Structure 1
Amino acid sequence: MTSQATENTTHRGGRTLRIAHLYPELLNLYGDSGNILCLRRRMEWRGITPDVMEVHVDDTPSFSGVDIAFIGGGSDREQRIVCDKLLAEQAEIRAFVEDGGVLAAVCGGYQLLGSSYLMADERVEGLSLVDLYTDHGDPRLIGNIVVESSISPQPIVGYENHAGRTHLGEGVTPLGRVLYGHGNDGVTGYEGVLYKNVVGTYVHGPLLPKNPGVADYLIARSMERKYGTTELEPLDDTEELAANQVMYHRLMAGEVQES
Protein backbone atom coordinates (compact mmCIF):
# COMPACT_ATOMS: atom_id res chain seq x y z
CA MET A 1 0.00 0.00 0.00
CA THR A 2 1.14 3.52 -0.72
CA SER A 3 2.16 6.01 1.92
CA GLN A 4 -0.46 8.70 2.25
CA ALA A 5 0.62 12.16 1.18
CA THR A 6 -0.83 13.69 4.31
CA GLU A 7 -0.62 10.78 6.73
CA ASN A 8 -2.44 11.66 9.92
CA THR A 9 -1.58 9.64 12.99
CA THR A 10 -3.31 12.00 15.39
CA HIS A 11 -6.22 9.96 16.70
CA ARG A 12 -9.00 12.50 16.54
CA GLY A 13 -11.68 12.15 19.18
CA GLY A 14 -10.11 9.02 20.60
CA ARG A 15 -11.68 6.78 17.93
CA THR A 16 -10.56 3.19 18.45
CA LEU A 17 -11.57 -0.05 16.76
CA ARG A 18 -10.70 -3.40 18.33
CA ILE A 19 -9.78 -6.21 15.92
CA ALA A 20 -9.84 -9.82 17.10
CA HIS A 21 -7.46 -11.88 14.94
CA LEU A 22 -8.49 -15.47 15.60
CA TYR A 23 -5.78 -18.15 15.66
CA PRO A 24 -3.20 -16.51 13.35
CA GLU A 25 -0.70 -19.31 14.02
CA LEU A 26 -3.11 -21.83 12.47
CA LEU A 27 -5.05 -19.89 9.86
CA ASN A 28 -2.69 -17.99 7.56
CA LEU A 29 -2.84 -19.55 4.09
CA TYR A 30 -1.77 -17.37 1.16
CA GLY A 31 -0.92 -14.39 3.32
CA ASP A 32 -4.25 -14.09 5.15
CA SER A 33 -2.56 -12.26 8.05
CA GLY A 34 -1.85 -9.45 5.60
CA ASN A 35 -5.52 -8.55 5.95
CA ILE A 36 -4.89 -7.42 9.53
CA LEU A 37 -1.92 -5.28 8.44
CA CYS A 38 -4.12 -3.66 5.81
CA LEU A 39 -6.90 -2.86 8.26
CA ARG A 40 -4.40 -1.40 10.73
CA ARG A 41 -2.81 0.94 8.22
CA ARG A 42 -6.08 2.12 6.68
CA MET A 43 -7.36 2.95 10.15
CA GLU A 44 -4.15 4.73 11.17
CA TRP A 45 -4.13 6.84 8.00
CA ARG A 46 -7.56 8.09 9.04
CA GLY A 47 -6.64 8.79 12.65
CA ILE A 48 -8.42 5.71 13.99
CA THR A 49 -6.51 3.68 16.57
CA PRO A 50 -6.43 -0.05 15.73
CA ASP A 51 -6.39 -2.23 18.84
CA VAL A 52 -5.40 -5.67 17.56
CA MET A 53 -6.02 -8.61 19.87
CA GLU A 54 -4.56 -11.94 18.77
CA VAL A 55 -6.46 -14.98 20.01
CA HIS A 56 -4.25 -18.08 20.23
CA VAL A 57 -4.99 -21.76 20.70
CA ASP A 58 -4.63 -21.66 24.48
CA ASP A 59 -6.80 -18.55 24.80
CA THR A 60 -10.52 -18.37 25.47
CA PRO A 61 -11.90 -15.93 22.90
CA SER A 62 -14.12 -13.13 24.10
CA PHE A 63 -16.06 -10.87 21.76
CA SER A 64 -16.84 -8.28 24.40
CA GLY A 65 -15.68 -4.92 23.05
CA VAL A 66 -14.64 -6.41 19.70
CA ASP A 67 -15.50 -4.39 16.60
CA ILE A 68 -14.02 -6.56 13.83
CA ALA A 69 -13.27 -10.29 14.05
CA PHE A 70 -11.18 -12.05 11.41
CA ILE A 71 -10.85 -15.77 10.67
CA GLY A 72 -8.36 -16.85 8.00
CA GLY A 73 -7.90 -20.06 6.07
CA GLY A 74 -5.99 -23.20 6.99
CA SER A 75 -5.60 -26.87 6.25
CA ASP A 76 -8.24 -29.41 7.32
CA ARG A 77 -6.33 -30.22 10.53
CA GLU A 78 -6.02 -26.58 11.60
CA GLN A 79 -9.60 -25.84 10.56
CA ARG A 80 -10.90 -28.65 12.77
CA ILE A 81 -8.91 -27.41 15.77
CA VAL A 82 -10.31 -23.90 15.35
CA CYS A 83 -13.85 -25.17 14.84
CA ASP A 84 -13.72 -27.12 18.11
CA LYS A 85 -12.42 -24.05 19.94
CA LEU A 86 -15.06 -21.72 18.53
CA LEU A 87 -17.95 -24.14 19.05
CA ALA A 88 -17.30 -23.81 22.78
CA GLU A 89 -18.01 -20.07 22.39
CA GLN A 90 -20.80 -20.44 19.83
CA ALA A 91 -23.42 -18.51 21.79
CA GLU A 92 -21.15 -15.51 22.28
CA ILE A 93 -20.09 -15.46 18.62
CA ARG A 94 -23.72 -15.65 17.50
CA ALA A 95 -24.64 -12.79 19.83
CA PHE A 96 -21.78 -10.73 18.37
CA VAL A 97 -22.96 -11.38 14.81
CA GLU A 98 -26.64 -10.72 15.54
CA ASP A 99 -25.69 -7.46 17.27
CA GLY A 100 -24.06 -6.25 14.05
CA GLY A 101 -20.48 -7.17 14.88
CA VAL A 102 -18.22 -7.18 11.82
CA LEU A 103 -16.84 -10.62 10.97
CA ALA A 104 -14.64 -11.40 7.97
CA ALA A 105 -13.92 -15.06 7.24
CA VAL A 106 -11.75 -16.44 4.44
CA CYS A 107 -11.81 -19.94 2.92
CA GLY A 108 -11.69 -22.42 5.82
CA GLY A 109 -12.97 -19.65 8.09
CA TYR A 110 -15.82 -19.07 5.65
CA GLN A 111 -16.79 -22.75 5.78
CA LEU A 112 -16.98 -22.60 9.58
CA LEU A 113 -19.80 -20.04 9.37
CA GLY A 114 -22.33 -22.61 8.20
CA SER A 115 -24.18 -25.51 9.78
CA SER A 116 -21.60 -28.07 8.65
CA TYR A 117 -18.69 -28.79 6.35
CA LEU A 118 -17.35 -32.03 4.94
CA MET A 119 -13.82 -33.06 5.92
CA ALA A 120 -12.89 -36.23 4.01
CA ASP A 121 -15.93 -38.44 4.71
CA GLU A 122 -16.80 -36.80 8.02
CA ARG A 123 -19.46 -34.12 8.29
CA VAL A 124 -18.25 -31.65 10.91
CA GLU A 125 -20.59 -29.37 12.83
CA GLY A 126 -20.10 -25.70 12.03
CA LEU A 127 -20.94 -22.53 13.96
CA SER A 128 -24.38 -22.09 12.30
CA LEU A 129 -23.95 -18.32 12.11
CA VAL A 130 -25.22 -18.18 8.51
CA ASP A 131 -27.62 -20.45 6.61
CA LEU A 132 -25.12 -22.36 4.46
CA TYR A 133 -23.28 -25.67 4.40
CA THR A 134 -20.23 -27.05 2.61
CA ASP A 135 -19.55 -30.41 1.03
CA HIS A 136 -16.67 -31.18 -1.33
CA GLY A 137 -16.09 -32.30 -4.88
CA ASP A 138 -13.50 -32.94 -7.56
CA PRO A 139 -11.58 -31.30 -9.00
CA ARG A 140 -10.32 -28.66 -6.60
CA LEU A 141 -11.31 -25.16 -7.62
CA ILE A 142 -7.96 -23.42 -8.06
CA GLY A 143 -6.84 -20.21 -9.69
CA ASN A 144 -7.34 -16.49 -9.92
CA ILE A 145 -10.79 -15.05 -9.36
CA VAL A 146 -12.71 -11.85 -10.10
CA VAL A 147 -15.96 -11.03 -8.29
CA GLU A 148 -18.42 -8.21 -8.83
CA SER A 149 -19.83 -7.18 -5.46
CA SER A 150 -22.03 -4.46 -4.03
CA ILE A 151 -19.60 -3.88 -1.15
CA SER A 152 -16.71 -2.74 -3.37
CA PRO A 153 -16.65 -0.05 -6.08
CA GLN A 154 -13.89 -2.06 -7.77
CA PRO A 155 -14.03 -5.70 -8.85
CA ILE A 156 -12.72 -8.00 -6.13
CA VAL A 157 -9.62 -9.87 -7.31
CA GLY A 158 -7.65 -12.65 -5.64
CA TYR A 159 -6.87 -16.34 -5.58
CA GLU A 160 -8.94 -19.39 -4.65
CA ASN A 161 -7.90 -22.96 -3.84
CA HIS A 162 -10.59 -25.16 -2.31
CA ALA A 163 -12.29 -28.51 -2.73
CA GLY A 164 -15.29 -27.18 -0.83
CA ARG A 165 -18.62 -26.63 -2.52
CA THR A 166 -20.50 -24.11 -0.41
CA HIS A 167 -24.29 -23.95 -0.75
CA LEU A 168 -26.23 -20.91 0.45
CA GLY A 169 -29.67 -21.25 2.00
CA GLU A 170 -32.80 -19.91 0.34
CA GLY A 171 -32.68 -16.13 0.21
CA VAL A 172 -29.14 -15.86 1.58
CA THR A 173 -27.18 -13.09 -0.15
CA PRO A 174 -23.89 -14.00 -1.85
CA LEU A 175 -20.91 -11.67 -1.61
CA GLY A 176 -21.07 -11.25 -5.36
CA ARG A 177 -21.15 -12.64 -8.87
CA VAL A 178 -18.16 -14.47 -10.35
CA LEU A 179 -16.77 -12.79 -13.45
CA TYR A 180 -13.73 -15.06 -13.65
CA GLY A 181 -12.97 -18.20 -11.68
CA HIS A 182 -15.15 -20.61 -9.74
CA GLY A 183 -16.56 -19.15 -6.52
CA ASN A 184 -18.75 -21.05 -4.06
CA ASP A 185 -19.32 -24.16 -6.12
CA GLY A 186 -18.15 -23.62 -9.70
CA VAL A 187 -21.76 -23.88 -10.92
CA THR A 188 -24.07 -21.15 -9.61
CA GLY A 189 -21.80 -18.23 -10.49
CA TYR A 190 -21.90 -16.87 -6.94
CA GLU A 191 -19.03 -16.24 -4.53
CA GLY A 192 -19.02 -15.81 -0.79
CA VAL A 193 -21.79 -14.67 1.51
CA LEU A 194 -23.13 -11.47 3.09
CA TYR A 195 -25.17 -11.66 6.28
CA LYS A 196 -25.68 -8.60 8.49
CA ASN A 197 -22.04 -7.43 8.89
CA VAL A 198 -20.55 -10.85 8.10
CA VAL A 199 -18.42 -11.28 4.97
CA GLY A 200 -17.44 -14.82 4.03
CA THR A 201 -15.33 -15.55 0.95
CA TYR A 202 -12.94 -17.99 -0.69
CA VAL A 203 -10.74 -15.12 -1.91
CA HIS A 204 -7.15 -15.29 -0.64
CA GLY A 205 -4.23 -13.30 -1.85
CA PRO A 206 -4.57 -11.67 0.76
CA LEU A 207 -8.03 -10.22 0.20
CA LEU A 208 -7.89 -6.70 1.62
CA PRO A 209 -4.62 -5.20 0.30
CA LYS A 210 -5.71 -6.11 -3.23
CA ASN A 211 -9.22 -4.78 -2.65
CA PRO A 212 -9.24 -1.56 -0.61
CA GLY A 213 -12.97 -1.18 -1.16
CA VAL A 214 -13.60 -4.33 0.85
CA ALA A 215 -11.29 -3.16 3.64
CA ASP A 216 -13.11 0.15 3.84
CA TYR A 217 -16.48 -1.63 3.87
CA LEU A 218 -15.44 -3.52 7.00
CA ILE A 219 -14.09 -0.39 8.67
CA ALA A 220 -17.19 1.65 7.77
CA ARG A 221 -19.56 -1.00 9.12
CA SER A 222 -17.66 -1.17 12.40
CA MET A 223 -17.59 2.63 12.65
CA GLU A 224 -21.35 2.75 12.11
CA ARG A 225 -21.97 0.19 14.84
CA LYS A 226 -19.68 1.87 17.37
CA TYR A 227 -19.83 5.57 16.52
CA GLY A 228 -22.96 5.94 14.39
CA THR A 229 -21.15 7.06 11.23
CA THR A 230 -20.01 5.33 8.05
CA GLU A 231 -18.14 8.35 6.69
CA LEU A 232 -14.46 7.58 6.03
CA GLU A 233 -11.89 10.09 4.86
CA PRO A 234 -10.72 9.27 1.32
CA LEU A 235 -7.22 7.86 0.92
CA ASP A 236 -4.80 8.01 -1.98
CA ASP A 237 -5.23 4.49 -3.33
CA THR A 238 -3.65 5.18 -6.71
CA GLU A 239 -1.22 2.26 -6.55
CA GLU A 240 -3.67 -0.19 -4.99
CA LEU A 241 -6.35 0.54 -7.57
CA ALA A 242 -3.86 0.38 -10.44
CA ALA A 243 -2.73 -3.08 -9.29
CA ASN A 244 -6.36 -4.17 -8.94
CA GLN A 245 -7.21 -2.96 -12.44
CA VAL A 246 -4.16 -4.56 -14.04
CA MET A 247 -5.13 -7.96 -12.65
CA TYR A 248 -8.79 -7.47 -13.56
CA HIS A 249 -8.03 -6.56 -17.17
CA ARG A 250 -5.44 -9.29 -17.62
CA LEU A 251 -7.80 -11.95 -16.33
CA MET A 252 -10.81 -10.76 -18.26
CA ALA A 253 -8.70 -10.58 -21.44
CA GLY A 254 -7.44 -14.13 -20.88
CA GLU A 255 -3.82 -13.04 -20.56
CA VAL A 256 -3.15 -15.04 -17.36
CA GLN A 257 -2.48 -18.75 -17.85
CA GLU A 258 -3.83 -20.86 -15.00
CA SER A 259 -1.70 -23.82 -13.86
Structure 2
Amino acid sequence: MTAGTGGGGPSKGTVHIVHLYPREMSIYGDLGNTRALASRLRWHGYTPVVHQHHPGAPWPEHAHLLLGGGGQDSGQVRVQEDLFTHADRLRAYAADGMPMLMICGMYQLFGQAFLTVDGTRLPGLGILDVTTTGNATRMIGPVVLDTLAGEVVGYENHSGSTVLAAGQEPFGTVRHGQGNNGADRTEGARVHEVIGSYLHGPVLPANPALADHLLRVAATRATGGWEPGEIDDSVAEQAHARQVSRLLAG
Protein backbone atom coordinates (compact mmCIF):
# COMPACT_ATOMS: atom_id res chain seq x y z
CA MET A 1 0.00 0.00 0.00
CA THR A 2 1.32 3.45 -0.87
CA ALA A 3 0.02 6.86 0.12
CA GLY A 4 0.84 10.44 -0.75
CA THR A 5 -0.47 13.95 -0.20
CA GLY A 6 -1.12 16.78 -2.58
CA GLY A 7 1.48 19.50 -2.74
CA GLY A 8 0.64 22.66 -0.79
CA GLY A 9 -2.40 23.15 1.43
CA PRO A 10 -4.56 20.66 3.26
CA SER A 11 -5.76 17.54 1.52
CA LYS A 12 -9.25 17.64 0.04
CA GLY A 13 -9.75 14.03 1.13
CA THR A 14 -8.42 10.50 0.73
CA VAL A 15 -9.23 8.30 -2.25
CA HIS A 16 -8.43 4.56 -2.13
CA ILE A 17 -7.40 2.88 -5.40
CA VAL A 18 -7.28 -0.92 -5.60
CA HIS A 19 -5.03 -2.40 -8.28
CA LEU A 20 -6.06 -6.00 -8.93
CA TYR A 21 -3.29 -8.56 -9.44
CA PRO A 22 -0.38 -6.28 -10.44
CA ARG A 23 2.06 -9.23 -10.68
CA GLU A 24 -0.07 -11.47 -12.89
CA MET A 25 -2.14 -8.91 -14.81
CA SER A 26 -0.09 -5.83 -15.62
CA ILE A 27 1.70 -6.04 -18.96
CA TYR A 28 2.21 -3.53 -21.77
CA GLY A 29 2.50 -0.64 -19.34
CA ASP A 30 -0.82 -1.04 -17.53
CA LEU A 31 0.79 -0.21 -14.16
CA GLY A 32 1.10 3.30 -15.55
CA ASN A 33 -2.66 3.73 -15.18
CA THR A 34 -2.36 3.34 -11.41
CA ARG A 35 0.56 5.73 -11.25
CA ALA A 36 -1.22 8.28 -13.42
CA LEU A 37 -4.33 8.28 -11.23
CA ALA A 38 -2.31 8.58 -8.02
CA SER A 39 -0.30 11.49 -9.47
CA ARG A 40 -3.38 13.29 -10.76
CA LEU A 41 -5.11 12.93 -7.39
CA ARG A 42 -2.12 14.63 -5.73
CA TRP A 43 -2.14 17.40 -8.34
CA HIS A 44 -5.85 17.91 -7.73
CA GLY A 45 -5.13 18.22 -4.00
CA TYR A 46 -6.34 14.81 -2.80
CA THR A 47 -4.48 12.08 -0.95
CA PRO A 48 -4.23 8.81 -2.92
CA VAL A 49 -3.82 5.47 -1.21
CA VAL A 50 -2.96 2.62 -3.58
CA HIS A 51 -3.64 -0.97 -2.53
CA GLN A 52 -2.12 -3.82 -4.53
CA HIS A 53 -4.44 -6.80 -4.20
CA HIS A 54 -2.76 -10.18 -4.75
CA PRO A 55 -4.38 -13.64 -4.95
CA GLY A 56 -5.26 -14.91 -1.48
CA ALA A 57 -4.73 -11.55 0.25
CA PRO A 58 -7.41 -9.92 2.43
CA TRP A 59 -9.56 -7.39 0.64
CA PRO A 60 -8.65 -3.75 1.45
CA GLU A 61 -10.84 -2.08 4.06
CA HIS A 62 -11.56 0.87 1.75
CA ALA A 63 -12.01 1.01 -2.03
CA HIS A 64 -13.23 3.86 -4.21
CA LEU A 65 -11.76 2.94 -7.61
CA LEU A 66 -10.61 -0.39 -9.10
CA LEU A 67 -8.02 -1.03 -11.80
CA GLY A 68 -6.97 -4.18 -13.61
CA GLY A 69 -4.59 -4.87 -16.47
CA GLY A 70 -3.65 -7.33 -19.15
CA GLY A 71 -1.87 -10.64 -18.83
CA GLN A 72 -1.17 -13.94 -20.51
CA ASP A 73 -3.75 -16.75 -20.45
CA SER A 74 -1.71 -18.36 -17.67
CA GLY A 75 -2.03 -15.20 -15.58
CA GLN A 76 -5.80 -15.23 -16.00
CA VAL A 77 -5.91 -18.82 -14.75
CA ARG A 78 -3.81 -17.90 -11.68
CA VAL A 79 -6.09 -15.07 -10.59
CA GLN A 80 -9.44 -16.64 -11.46
CA GLU A 81 -10.01 -18.43 -8.13
CA ASP A 82 -9.34 -15.28 -6.10
CA LEU A 83 -11.45 -13.20 -8.47
CA PHE A 84 -14.43 -15.45 -7.89
CA THR A 85 -13.83 -15.34 -4.13
CA HIS A 86 -14.68 -11.63 -4.41
CA ALA A 87 -17.27 -11.97 -7.19
CA ASP A 88 -20.28 -10.87 -5.15
CA ARG A 89 -18.36 -7.88 -3.78
CA LEU A 90 -17.25 -6.81 -7.26
CA ARG A 91 -20.73 -7.20 -8.75
CA ALA A 92 -22.18 -5.13 -5.90
CA TYR A 93 -19.52 -2.44 -6.42
CA ALA A 94 -20.38 -2.30 -10.12
CA ALA A 95 -24.12 -2.05 -9.49
CA ASP A 96 -23.48 0.74 -6.96
CA GLY A 97 -21.58 2.84 -9.49
CA MET A 98 -17.98 2.35 -8.37
CA PRO A 99 -15.60 3.40 -11.17
CA MET A 100 -13.50 0.58 -12.59
CA LEU A 101 -11.10 0.37 -15.51
CA MET A 102 -10.33 -3.18 -16.65
CA ILE A 103 -7.82 -3.59 -19.46
CA CYS A 104 -7.37 -6.56 -21.81
CA GLY A 105 -7.19 -9.77 -19.74
CA MET A 106 -9.15 -8.31 -16.84
CA TYR A 107 -11.69 -6.91 -19.30
CA GLN A 108 -12.19 -10.46 -20.56
CA LEU A 109 -12.58 -11.85 -17.02
CA PHE A 110 -15.20 -9.20 -16.23
CA GLY A 111 -17.22 -10.57 -19.15
CA GLN A 112 -19.29 -13.74 -19.40
CA ALA A 113 -16.50 -16.09 -20.47
CA PHE A 114 -13.12 -16.36 -22.18
CA LEU A 115 -12.55 -19.33 -24.47
CA THR A 116 -8.78 -19.82 -24.81
CA VAL A 117 -7.13 -20.80 -28.08
CA ASP A 118 -6.73 -24.38 -26.81
CA GLY A 119 -10.45 -24.65 -26.01
CA THR A 120 -10.36 -24.05 -22.25
CA ARG A 121 -13.37 -22.10 -20.99
CA LEU A 122 -12.70 -19.56 -18.26
CA PRO A 123 -15.97 -18.26 -16.82
CA GLY A 124 -16.11 -14.56 -16.08
CA LEU A 125 -17.89 -12.39 -13.55
CA GLY A 126 -20.64 -11.36 -15.97
CA ILE A 127 -20.41 -7.69 -15.05
CA LEU A 128 -19.92 -6.90 -18.73
CA ASP A 129 -22.11 -8.81 -21.17
CA VAL A 130 -19.33 -9.86 -23.54
CA THR A 131 -17.77 -13.16 -24.60
CA THR A 132 -14.20 -13.55 -25.83
CA THR A 133 -12.65 -16.27 -27.98
CA GLY A 134 -8.89 -16.66 -28.34
CA ASN A 135 -7.42 -17.13 -31.80
CA ALA A 136 -4.06 -17.36 -33.52
CA THR A 137 -4.21 -13.89 -35.06
CA ARG A 138 -3.26 -10.90 -32.92
CA MET A 139 -4.75 -7.44 -33.27
CA ILE A 140 -1.88 -5.02 -32.76
CA GLY A 141 -1.47 -1.32 -33.33
CA PRO A 142 -2.53 2.22 -32.39
CA VAL A 143 -6.21 2.99 -31.87
CA VAL A 144 -8.42 6.07 -31.98
CA LEU A 145 -11.92 5.92 -30.47
CA ASP A 146 -14.96 8.12 -30.08
CA THR A 147 -16.32 7.63 -26.54
CA LEU A 148 -18.58 9.31 -24.01
CA ALA A 149 -15.38 10.67 -22.46
CA GLY A 150 -14.40 12.24 -25.79
CA GLU A 151 -11.73 11.13 -28.22
CA VAL A 152 -9.50 8.40 -26.74
CA VAL A 153 -6.18 7.08 -28.05
CA GLY A 154 -4.27 3.96 -27.10
CA TYR A 155 -2.50 0.83 -28.31
CA GLU A 156 -4.03 -2.62 -28.67
CA ASN A 157 -2.23 -5.97 -28.54
CA HIS A 158 -4.60 -8.91 -28.09
CA SER A 159 -5.52 -12.22 -29.67
CA GLY A 160 -8.91 -12.40 -28.02
CA SER A 161 -11.89 -11.62 -30.22
CA THR A 162 -14.69 -10.12 -28.12
CA VAL A 163 -18.36 -9.96 -29.06
CA LEU A 164 -20.89 -7.77 -27.25
CA ALA A 165 -24.29 -9.21 -26.42
CA ALA A 166 -27.37 -7.39 -27.67
CA GLY A 167 -27.88 -4.27 -25.60
CA GLN A 168 -24.32 -4.12 -24.24
CA GLU A 169 -22.88 -0.64 -24.72
CA PRO A 170 -19.33 -0.49 -26.11
CA PHE A 171 -16.72 1.74 -24.51
CA GLY A 172 -16.15 3.40 -27.86
CA THR A 173 -16.52 3.39 -31.62
CA VAL A 174 -13.34 2.64 -33.57
CA ARG A 175 -12.07 5.33 -35.92
CA HIS A 176 -8.68 3.65 -36.38
CA GLY A 177 -7.63 0.16 -35.29
CA GLN A 178 -9.29 -3.21 -34.78
CA GLY A 179 -11.18 -2.89 -31.49
CA ASN A 180 -13.06 -5.80 -29.97
CA ASN A 181 -12.97 -8.09 -32.99
CA GLY A 182 -11.84 -6.23 -36.09
CA ALA A 183 -15.31 -6.43 -37.63
CA ASP A 184 -18.04 -4.42 -35.89
CA ARG A 185 -16.06 -1.21 -35.07
CA THR A 186 -16.77 -1.50 -31.36
CA GLU A 187 -14.07 -1.26 -28.69
CA GLY A 188 -14.43 -2.37 -25.11
CA ALA A 189 -17.63 -2.34 -23.10
CA ARG A 190 -19.20 -0.11 -20.48
CA VAL A 191 -21.89 -0.55 -17.84
CA HIS A 192 -22.60 1.89 -15.00
CA GLU A 193 -19.08 3.25 -14.28
CA VAL A 194 -17.26 0.05 -15.27
CA ILE A 195 -15.11 0.32 -18.39
CA GLY A 196 -13.50 -2.64 -20.09
CA SER A 197 -11.05 -1.98 -22.92
CA TYR A 198 -8.14 -3.43 -24.88
CA LEU A 199 -6.25 -0.13 -24.87
CA HIS A 200 -2.77 -0.30 -23.42
CA GLY A 201 -0.25 2.48 -23.62
CA PRO A 202 -0.90 2.91 -20.70
CA VAL A 203 -4.15 4.54 -21.72
CA LEU A 204 -4.73 7.07 -18.93
CA PRO A 205 -1.60 9.28 -19.21
CA ALA A 206 -2.49 9.87 -22.88
CA ASN A 207 -6.13 10.64 -22.07
CA PRO A 208 -6.37 13.07 -19.11
CA ALA A 209 -10.11 13.62 -19.57
CA LEU A 210 -10.79 9.89 -19.16
CA ALA A 211 -8.54 9.75 -16.09
CA ASP A 212 -10.32 12.70 -14.51
CA HIS A 213 -13.73 11.19 -15.24
CA LEU A 214 -12.76 8.14 -13.17
CA LEU A 215 -11.30 10.36 -10.43
CA ARG A 216 -14.36 12.59 -10.28
CA VAL A 217 -16.62 9.59 -9.62
CA ALA A 218 -14.17 8.08 -7.13
CA ALA A 219 -13.57 11.31 -5.22
CA THR A 220 -17.30 12.00 -5.01
CA ARG A 221 -17.82 8.54 -3.53
CA ALA A 222 -14.96 9.07 -1.09
CA THR A 223 -15.53 12.65 0.02
CA GLY A 224 -18.98 13.68 -1.18
CA GLY A 225 -17.71 16.01 -3.88
CA TRP A 226 -15.10 16.76 -6.54
CA GLU A 227 -12.92 19.85 -6.40
CA PRO A 228 -10.46 19.64 -9.28
CA GLY A 229 -7.25 21.57 -9.25
CA GLU A 230 -5.56 23.26 -12.19
CA ILE A 231 -3.34 20.81 -14.09
CA ASP A 232 -1.17 21.64 -17.09
CA ASP A 233 -2.02 18.82 -19.51
CA SER A 234 -0.52 20.55 -22.54
CA VAL A 235 2.12 17.87 -23.20
CA ALA A 236 -0.42 15.03 -23.03
CA GLU A 237 -2.86 16.99 -25.17
CA GLN A 238 -0.21 17.68 -27.82
CA ALA A 239 0.81 14.00 -27.93
CA HIS A 240 -2.85 13.01 -28.14
CA ALA A 241 -3.53 15.42 -31.00
CA ARG A 242 -0.46 14.30 -32.94
CA GLN A 243 -1.43 10.64 -32.67
CA VAL A 244 -4.95 11.38 -33.90
CA SER A 245 -3.67 13.56 -36.74
CA ARG A 246 -1.10 10.98 -37.84
CA LEU A 247 -3.50 8.03 -37.76
CA LEU A 248 -6.45 9.73 -39.39
CA ALA A 249 -4.53 11.73 -41.98
CA GLY A 250 -5.10 9.04 -44.62
TM-score, normalised relative to structure 2: 0.92
Partner secondary structure for residue 28 of structure 2: helix
Contact 1:11 1:48 in 2 (8 A): no
Gaps of 5+ in 1: 1-6, 255-259
**Aligned runs of 1:151-170 on 2, under 5 Å?**
151-152=149-150, 155-170=151-166
Give the counterpart letter for 1:224 in structure 2: T
Residue 55 of structure 2 aligns with which residue? 57
Number of aligned residue pairs: 245
Give the counterpart letter for 1:100 in structure 2: G
Match for residue 86 of structure 1 among 68, 80, 83: 83
**Aligned runs of 1:117-132 on 2, under 5 Å?**
117-120=114-117, 121-132=119-130
Partner secondary structure for residue 158 of structure 1: strand
Match for residue 27 of structure 2 among 7, 29, 35: 29
Q: Distance in 2 between matches of 1:52 and 1:42?
A: 13
Give the counterpart letter for 2:185 in structure 1: G
Contact 1:183 1:202 in 2 (8 A): yes
Q: Distance in 2 between matches of 1:25 and 1:48?
A: 27
Match for residue 225 of structure 2 among 222, 229, 232: 229
Partner secondary structure for residue 44 of structure 2: coil
Residue 95 of structure 1 aligns with which residue? 92
Q: Distance in 2 between matches of 1:228 and 1:61?
A: 23
Match for residue 75 of structure 1 among 52, 72, 76: 72
Q: 1:197 to 1:145 in 2, by over 3 A?
A: same
| TM superposition shift of 1:178 | 0.4
Contact 2:102 2:196 in 1 (8 A): yes
The superposition leaves residues 195-223 of structure 1 with CA deviations (integer Å, 9 ceiling, x where unpaired) of: 11101100001111111111111101112
Q: Distance in 1 between matches of 2:140 and 2:96?
A: 35
Q: Distance in 1 between matches of 2:9 and 2:53?
A: 25
Contact 1:9 1:46 in 2 (8 A): no
Identity, in percent, stands at 36
Q: 1:179 to 1:247 in 2, by over 3 A?
A: same
| TM superposition shift of 1:86 | 0.4
| TM superposition shift of 1:13 | 5.4
Is 1:17 matched with 2:15?
yes
Gaps of 5+ in 2: none
Give the counterpart letter for 2:68 in structure 1: I
Contact 2:145 2:175 in 1 (8 A): yes
Partner secondary structure for residue 172 of structure 1: coil
The superposition leaves residues 137-158 of structure 1 with CA deviations (integer Å, 9 ceiling, x where unpaired) of: 4521111111111113xx2111
Partner secondary structure for residue 7 of structure 2: coil
Q: Distance in 2 between matches of 1:126 and 1:102?
A: 19
Q: 1:249 to 1:82 in 2, by over 3 A?
A: same
Residue 141 of structure 1 aligns with which residue? 139
Contact 2:69 2:106 in 1 (8 A): yes
TM-score, normalised relative to structure 1: 0.89
Residue 216 of structure 1 aligns with which residue? 212
| TM superposition shift of 1:193 | 1.2
Residue 4 of structure 1 aligns with which residue? none
| TM superposition shift of 1:231 | 4.8
* Higher mean C-alpha deviation, range 70-79 or range 125-134: 125-134
Q: Distance in 2 between matches of 1:124 and 1:11?
A: 48
Q: Distance in 2 between matches of 1:107 and 1:54?
A: 18
Residue 185 of structure 1 aligns with which residue? 181
Q: Distance in 2 between matches of 1:125 and 1:97?
A: 18
Structural RMSD (CA): 1.8
| TM superposition shift of 1:68 | 0.6
The superposition leaves residues 88-137 of structure 1 with CA deviations (integer Å, 9 ceiling, x where unpaired) of: 11111111111111111000010011111111211111111122211134
Partner secondary structure for residue 209 of structure 1: coil
